[in-house]
Amino acid sequence: MAGNTLGILFRVTSFGESHGGAVGCVVDGCPPGLNISKNDVQKDLDRRKPGQSSITSPRKEQDEINILSGVIDGKTTGSPILLLAWNQDARPENYEKLKNVFRPGHADFTFQKKFGIRDWRGSGRASARVTLGWVAAGAIAKKFLKEKLGIEFLSFVEQVGNIKTKVNFNNVTHEQIESNIVRCPNEKIAKNMISLINTVREQGNSAGGIIKGLIRNVPVGLGEPVFSKLSADLGHAMLSINAVKGFEIGSGFAGTQMKGSEHNDEFFGDSSGKIRTKTNNSGGTLGGISNGETIHFRVAFKPVSTIRRKQETVDINNKEIKLEATGRHDPCVLPRAVPIVDAMAALVVMDHFLRHKAQNL
């Protein structure tokens, strides 16, 4: 199956299925000499794993990472890094009755038609479980970029259903995001979001929402015009995340309601001699190249497809049936998707940093 590798110089190849033996990735192109430990990776995986709170999937996976190559004496060697976590609470037998059924909202139908075969255990390769490897790889990229360039990645839940939070993203901190189980930096709004998630779960339903992504302290010059713009590659990475249906950077669609005089980010020279912009409607990029301002974007997630309500569908023989799904699923993916958005952003920036260094000796 093609399409399992992200990046040009910092390359991440993902493997595994929802209820297979293991999930993980191979990272190729990581510079040698980076101090990396199991804990550096595990702390990000703990933010992504199921069963971490009352509003996430009850599947019990510790998601303990194993670093099986590319690191010696706590340092990267420059060779491929194999990151793997064994599936410990897989229950493929729960999906036996769905083996020949096309679940609404899932990739069952398209995978079957494209390949002529599909892994029916959970969602197989189409499951968000495979994002474990992406988060593990992203932890390595985040550590490198933080230590070498001071780049910081922060994402938070901005909206669940019709409940929105309004915060000044320039002031949001990691501590605020992690202060509650829904990962919204506004405590009052977070409680309302949690209440909504609990309500839809009790109704056998699900909810979608929006995650706001931030990348701070990005140097000027990252991005490859014209077909590998930094903004375009961020969009590609975010739209590769399970359940994502939309991506916008900077002012996004709201910019269509502004005049040019309102939208243009005027330049000025700050006290340190750096060229800055007075506003940041462009979202930290100009012409697809980073301009030194905070990169900010929004990622839209659809409601979880698996719900405990009867839905009409067909099986592989085109026989109409009514399906009421069962299993262990998140009523809302957003709390666990926050570290995934962070990771995908880090993988893109890491790759573009190495490409920039290779071109500008």
Bridge partners (DSSP) listed for residue 228: 224
The 10 Å CB-count burial string (b at 16+, else e) for 119-128 is: bbbbbbbbbb
- The residue behind tokens 């659809």 is 302
Q: Nearest-CA neighbor of 293 among 330, 250, 332? A: 250
Supply the angle between the helices 230-239 and 334-359 in degrees, to the nearest 10: 150
292: alpha, beta or left? (left if phi > 0; alpha if psi -120 to 50): left
Q: Which tokens go with 293?
A: 């301002």
The candidate with the shortest Cα–Cα distance to 254, out of 295, 214, 298, is 298
Average pLDDT per 10 consecutive residues for the chain, totaling 361 residues: 88 94 97 98 94 82 93 98 90 78 93 92 89 98 98 98 95 97 97 97 95 98 96 98 97 98 97 95 98 98 92 94 79 96 98 96 82
In this prediction, residue 61 carries a pLDDT of: 78
Torsions phi, psi of 2, nearest 5? Answer: -80, 170
Beta strand pairing status for 75-76 and 71-72?
antiparallel
DSSP 8-state secondary structure symbol assigned to residue 35: B
**What is the C-alpha to C-alpha distance for residues 21 and 69, in angstroms, rounded to an integer?**
19
Q: Which residue has the tokens 């064994």?
A: 86
pLDDT at 57: 80
312, 255 contact by CB (below 8 A)? no
- CA-based Rg of the chain, rounded to a whole angstrom? 21
Q: Report the alpha-carbon distance of residue 361 to residue 356 in Å, rounded.
A: 9
pTM of the entire predicted model: 0.96
Query: How many C-beta atoms lie closer than 10 Å to residue 159's C-beta?
Result: 21
Give residue 111's Cα distance to chain centre: 22
Print burial letters for 66-90: b (CB count within 10 Å at least 16), e (below 16): ebeebbeeeebeeeebbbbbbbeeb
> What per-residue confidence (pLDDT) applies to 1?
46
Q: Take residue 87 and report the two structure tokens written for it.
A: 């599936």
Assess contact for 90 and 18: CB atoms under 8 A.
yes
Give me the pLDDT at residue 2, please: 67
- Tell me what pLDDT residue 91 has: 72
- Adjacency order of strands within the sheet including 163-164: 163-164, 152-160, 209-216, 295-301, 244-249
Domains of the chain in sequence order? 5-359 (3.60.150.10)
What is the rounded CA–CA span in Å between residue 291 and residue 217?
10
329 touches 319 (CB < 8 A): no
Predicted confidence at residue 105, as pLDDT, reads 92
DSSP 323-352: EE--S---S--HHHHHHHHHHHHHHHHHHH
Residue 43: enclosing H or E segment and its boundaries?
helix 38-48
The per-residue pLDDT for 133 is: 97
